[in-house]
Amino acid sequence: MQPTVIINQHRNTAIIAGTSGKKLLVIKLGKGKLTVTAVTLQQINAQGYTVSDYSPALAAQSYLQHGAGVTEKARKFLEKIAAGEFSSGLTFTPQ
């Protein structure tokens, strides 16, 4: 799976950074420290997220500058994405 930027109707953004079993590893932009959360596709859909055409690398660079900080696990994902160690193609398609 490729990193993918998603957005909901409230303009909340998140990056799908990978998978863990059947769950998606998501880094949501928010007020506190950025963390990696494992969620199901159903939870993503229930929160109204859809795929954005925004560049995952640009989003990751922005997330790395988050004022409240980033956990070590989230930083590792974001640095890989920002460095372009993944293809820019989007392969995530909510059902």
Strand ranges for the chain from DSSP E: 4-7, 13-20, 23-28, 36-39, 50-51
Please tell me which residue, 40 or 90, carries the higher pLDDT value: 40
Backbone phi, then psi, for 78, in 5-degree steps?
Answer: -65, -40
| pTM given for the model | 0.86
The pLDDT of residue 86 is 65
CB 88 within 8 A of CB 58: no
Please tell me which residue, 93 or 59, carries the higher pLDDT value: 59
Domain residue spans of the chain: 4-82
Mean of pLDDT values over 1-25: 93
SS3 11: coil
Convert the pLDDT of each residue in 16-73 to its tens digit.
Answer: 999 999 999 999 998 889 999 999 999 999 999 999 999 999 999 999 999 899 999 9
Q: What is the largest CA-CA distance in the chain?
A: 34
